[in-house]
């Protein structure tokens, strides 16, 4: 069988003599992998012209809705992915992380894009920047999709998650993807991409797949394209310094080897809850995916006087981990992805053993359940110990990408922090302690060297996602050895594929460009009250200036009685004179309530509900005798999809509200959000 690529709208078979990939458990051949015959310039052109053009025509929310539909579609086919995943040596739990963890990330990105970004083909970012004294010249940032492709070169350990966590933000951004999975497990990626293409949820050209080498693809990229790489530091360095990548300043995000630490707190007694949590976390990180996790704990940093107790507890826990064919009942750790990888890990353990002592595992002959130890890519859980970890650099620099960790002792907190930093930049660190003062010192002491730090103790353990799990809303990446890149991190990852451009001009021009009202822009007025208009009929910039109202003492007294708020600034003449305001003033909440009374149109109409208020600022006090008036302006419209159970089809309208006094000075500024019915014709 040949593992195929999907390029230029068709499935492509390479030559017959491609690289052979085998079942990690049985060693049986699965197929050959070759990208021979692919015209890589054409692949990029197809991505740009077919995929890019179609994606950029969709709004961000439309792309996000398709992500959700695609995630649902893939979930519906998960059983077949689990079946194939077993061939990579994965247990059911490992496959869950890869398959459902990846699909979950896609769901998350659908939500993040709809919640945090504009419902336009582009997004508007941050506040309006005032650049002139009179306010006729302003600036604001927009983010537009890059007009190229994003090339994702992935590692072998997460053939599904590794793809999905990158394509979800890219597709949400409106940038087509070219996925290049690592060869040893590309057959699982291929199966998932087949379902994506068959679903026809994303336009043709949005998703292409290259199984095998990428040929001269990198030579064809330019400033509109980007590359994200996950894999070994040596390959990453080679690709990052590719002459064309440098020549065209092609953004290159790199995630590479990472020697993540976990520190056991200074006062953790053997048998205490934190001690047990530390051991449990370490065993989990060693055995999930047979330790082939970029976030696995490679360096276990423990108080010097606890080394023996930790070794003993680890030994007891690892003894219970049966290694073998995950299809056999009771097996908890499967195989590495292939025998080449097994030899790589043996080599790394050999190098580590030159300066560290193997204290658990490390023998080539060990019990394998339900499979042939020679044919499958099995590896025993192995623990080493470094006795001079401040001087011995090997465990801080050599990554054995399997079920392998090195124990090292520390004498005081500063030493623990110094050891953590010797990893020279990692994806994640963790400290297991109930002492928040220690936690704070370790987090602040090691954060500059790490992309994420977990503090684990009894308070959060039951719900903690653990040391090794990257999460969609949080950054995944690390400085230095870890590649210096950033993935995930919520909307940040979507923006990575977009160009941030500062737009300068008049308020009216900025309103037209951003499709959001900019204060100072020429308003749109109409004799019809804006609350009587359906969502589609409202124009951005549509404005209502209300009648005036003079605030009286009776207003203050009535509002105080109604709300129960008898704060001295409203009710105590003497204290109010000494206050910041030097007089009694109206309640701020009265002022905004009075404003609502001025701007609403009371009869039933298309405005169905007021569901929030943002950015409220009270600027000037309102005293007895002051006269206020309100201006509301339609600032932004966000169309919503109608769900089957929804009674109405609605959109959200954000209104800028300004309350002014008799001197035309603003006294309060805020945004209100209303749910407005659509005509839906």
Does 214 help bind ligand NAP (rule: CB under 6 A)?
Answer: yes
User: Of the candidates 231, 423, 429, 484, which one interacts with ligand NAP according to CB under 6 A?
Assistant: 231
Task: Return d(Cα 615, Cα 539) in angstroms, integer.
Answer: 22
Question: Count of residues binding ligand NAP (CB under 6 A)?
Answer: 25
Structure tokens at 504: 């300068």
Q: What's the min distance (Å) between Cβ of 95 and ligand NAP?
A: 16
Does 239 help bind ligand NAP (rule: CB under 6 A)?
Answer: yes
- Contact window for ligand NAP (CB under 6 A) among 38-46, 235-243, 410-418, 577-585: 235-243
Contacts of 265 (CB under 8 A, 6+ apart): 274, 431, 432, 433, 434, 435, 438, 439
Measured CA distances, 181 to 168, 208, 394, 604 (Å): 16, 11, 30, 57
Q: Cβ(58)–Cβ(205) under 8 Å?
A: no
Q: Is the dihedral of CA 113, 116, 120, 123 positive or negative?
A: negative
* Burial class of residue 118, CB neighbours in 10 A (0-12, 13-18, 19+): buried
- DSSP assigned state of 127: E
**CB-side exposure of 89: number of CA atoms within 13 Å?**
36
Does 405 help bind ligand NAP (rule: CB under 6 A)?
Answer: no
Does 427 help bind ligand NAP (rule: CB under 6 A)?
Answer: yes
Find, among 553, 554, 558, 578, the residue nearest to 568 by Cα: 578
Segment holding 319, helix H or strand E: helix 307-319
User: Of the candidates 4, 62, 190, 255, which one interacts with ligand NAP according to CB under 6 A?
Assistant: 255
- Contact window for ligand NAP (CB under 6 A) among 94-102, 163-171, 255-263, 547-555: 255-263
- Contact window for ligand NAP (CB under 6 A) among 253-261, 326-334, 353-361, 529-537: 253-261
Nearer to ligand NAP, 220 or 549 (CB): 220
Does 230 help bind ligand NAP (rule: CB under 6 A)?
Answer: yes
Quote the radius of gyration of the chain (alpha carbons, Å). 30
The contact pattern for ligand NAP, residues 454-483, with x = CB under 6 A and - = no contact, is ----------------------------xx
Nearer to ligand NAP, 145 or 429 (CB): 429
Nearer to ligand NAP, 355 or 426 (CB): 426
Task: Return d(Cα 288, Cα 400) in angstroms, integer.
Answer: 15
- Contact window for ligand NAP (CB under 6 A) among 190-198, 232-240, 349-357, 368-376: 232-240
Contacts of 200 (CB under 8 A, 6+ apart): none
User: Of the candidates 23, 32, 258, 355, which one interacts with ligand NAP according to CB under 6 A?
Assistant: 258
Q: Is the dihedral of CA 479, 482, 485, 488 positive or negative?
A: negative
Site for ligand NAP in 481-500 (CB under 6 A): 482-483
- Contact window for ligand NAP (CB under 6 A) among 127-135, 229-237, 320-328, 381-389: 229-237
Does 544 help bind ligand NAP (rule: CB under 6 A)?
Answer: no
Q: What's the min distance (Å) between Cβ of 340 and ligand NAP?
A: 9
Does 508 help bind ligand NAP (rule: CB under 6 A)?
Answer: no
Does 161 help bind ligand NAP (rule: CB under 6 A)?
Answer: no
Does 156 help bind ligand NAP (rule: CB under 6 A)?
Answer: yes
- Which residue, judged by CB position, is nearest to ligand NAP in the bound state? 231
Does 401 help bind ligand NAP (rule: CB under 6 A)?
Answer: yes
- Contact window for ligand NAP (CB under 6 A) among 136-144, 233-241, 299-307, 644-652: 233-241
Does 2 help bind ligand NAP (rule: CB under 6 A)?
Answer: no
Q: What is the largest CA-CA distance in the chain?
A: 94
Q: Cβ(231)–Cβ(155) under 8 Å?
A: yes
Measured CA distances, 233 to 155, 238, 245, 306, 543 (Å): 11, 9, 17, 33, 57
- Contact window for ligand NAP (CB under 6 A) among 71-79, 252-260, 521-529, 598-606: 252-260
Site for ligand NAP in 174-193 (CB under 6 A): 180, 182-183
Find, among 262, 240, 258, the residue nearest to 249 by Cα: 240
User: Of the candidates 65, 232, 351, 579, which one interacts with ligand NAP according to CB under 6 A?
Assistant: 232
Does 109 help bind ligand NAP (rule: CB under 6 A)?
Answer: no
User: Of the candidates 55, 117, 128, 256, which one interacts with ligand NAP according to CB under 6 A?
Assistant: 256
Measured CA distances, 103 to 12, 71, 78, 228, 580 (Å): 26, 5, 10, 19, 55
Task: Return d(Cα 561, Cα 539) in angstroms, integer.
Answer: 40
Q: Cβ(73)–Cβ(201) under 8 Å?
A: yes
Site for ligand NAP in 274-313 (CB under 6 A): 294
Q: What beta strand segments (E) does 342-438 contain?
A: 357-360, 382-386, 404-410, 426-432
Does 157 help bind ligand NAP (rule: CB under 6 A)?
Answer: yes
Does 154 help bind ligand NAP (rule: CB under 6 A)?
Answer: yes
The contact pattern for ligand NAP, residues 355-394, with x = CB under 6 A and - = no contact, is ----------------------------------------
- Which residues are part of the catalytic machinery? 255, 294
Which chain residues interact with ligand NAP by CB under 6 A?
153-157, 180, 182-183, 214, 230-232, 235, 238-239, 255-258, 294, 399, 401, 427, 482-483
């Amino acid at each position: 069988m040949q593992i195929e690529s999907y390029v230029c709208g068709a499935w492509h078979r390479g030559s017959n003599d491609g690289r052979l990939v085998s079942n990690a458990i049985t060693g049986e051949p699965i197929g050959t992998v070759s990208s021979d015959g692919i015209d890589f310039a054409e692949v990029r052109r197809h991505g740009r012209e077919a995929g890019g053009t179609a994606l950029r025509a969709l709004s961000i929310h439309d792309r996000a809705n398709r992500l959700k539909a695609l995630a649902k579609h893939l979930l519906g086919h998960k059983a077949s992915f689990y079946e194939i995943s077993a061939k990579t040596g994965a247990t059911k739990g490992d496959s869950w992380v890869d398959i459902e963890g990846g699909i979950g990330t896609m769901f998350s990105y659908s939500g993040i894009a709809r919640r945090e970004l504009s419902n336009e083909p582009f997004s508007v970012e941050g506040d309006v920047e005032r650049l002139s004294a009179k306010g006729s010249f302003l600036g604001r940032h927009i983010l537009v999709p890059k007009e190229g492709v994003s090339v994702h070169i992935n590692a072998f350990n997460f053939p599904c998650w590794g793809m999905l966590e990158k394509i979800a933000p890219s597709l949400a951004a409106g940038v087509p993807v070219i996925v290049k999975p690592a060869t040893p497990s590309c057959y699982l990626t291929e199966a998932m991409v087949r379902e994506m293409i068959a679903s026809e949820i994303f336009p043709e050209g949005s998703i292409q797949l290259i199984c095998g080498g990428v040929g001269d693809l990198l030579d064809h990229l330019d400033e509109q394209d980007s590359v994200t790489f996950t894999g070994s530091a040596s390959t990453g360095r080679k690709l990052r310094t590719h002459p064309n990548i440098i020549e065209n300043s092609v953004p290159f995000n790199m995630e590479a080897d990472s020697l993540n630490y976990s520190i056991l707190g200074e006062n953790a007694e053997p048998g205490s809850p934190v001690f047990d949590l530390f051991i449990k976390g370490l065993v989990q990180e060693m055995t999930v995916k047979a330790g082939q996790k970029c976030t696995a704990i490679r360096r276990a940093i423990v108080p010097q006087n606890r080394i023996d107790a930790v070794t003993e507890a680890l030994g007891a826990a690892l003894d219970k981990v049966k290694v073998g064919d995950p299809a056999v009942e009771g097996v908890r750790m499967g195989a590495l992805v292939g025998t080449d990888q097994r030899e790589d890990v043996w080599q790394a353990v050999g190098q580590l053993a030159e300066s560290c002592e193997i204290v658990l595992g490390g023998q080539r002959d060990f019990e394998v359940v339900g499979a042939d130890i020679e044919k499958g890519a099995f590896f025993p859980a192995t623990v080493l110990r470094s006795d001079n970890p401040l001087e011995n650099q090997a465990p801080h620099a050599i990554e054995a990408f399997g079920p392998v960790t090195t124990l090292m002792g520390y004498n005081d907190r500063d030493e623990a922090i110094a050891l953590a930093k010797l990893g020279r930049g990692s994806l994640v660190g963790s400290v297991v302690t109930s002492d928040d003062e220690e936690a704070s010192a370790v987090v602040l002491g090691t954060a500059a060297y790490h992309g994420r730090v977990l503090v684990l103790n009894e308070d959060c353990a039951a719900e903690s996602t653990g040391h090794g799990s990257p999460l969609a809303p949080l950054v995944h990446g690390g400085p230095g050895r870890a590649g210096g890149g950033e993935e995930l991190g919520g909307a940040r990852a979507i923006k990575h594929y977009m160009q941030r451009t500062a737009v300068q001009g008049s308020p009216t021009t900025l309103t037209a460009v951003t499709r959001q009202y900019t204060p100072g822009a020429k308003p749109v007025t109409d004799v019809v009250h804006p609350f009587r208009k359906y969502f589609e009929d409202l124009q951005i910039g549509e404005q209502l200036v209300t009648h005036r109202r003079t605030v009286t003492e009776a207003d203050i007294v009535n509002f105080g009685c109604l709300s129960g708020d008898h704060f001295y600034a409203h009710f105590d003449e003497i204290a109010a004179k000494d206050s910041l305001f030097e007089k009694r003033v109206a309640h701020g909440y009265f002022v905004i309530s009075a404003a609502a009374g001025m701007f609403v149109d009371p009869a039933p109409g298309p405005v169905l509900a007021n569901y929030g208020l943002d950015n409220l600022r009270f600027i000037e006090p309102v005293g007895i005798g002051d006269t206020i008036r309100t201006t509301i302006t339609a600032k932004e419209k966000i169309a919503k999809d109608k769900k089957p159970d929804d009674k109405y089809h609605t959109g959200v309208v954000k209104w800028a509200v300004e309350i002014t006094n008799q001197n035309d000075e603003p006294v309060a500024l805020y945004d209100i959000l209303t749910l407005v019915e659509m005509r839906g014709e």
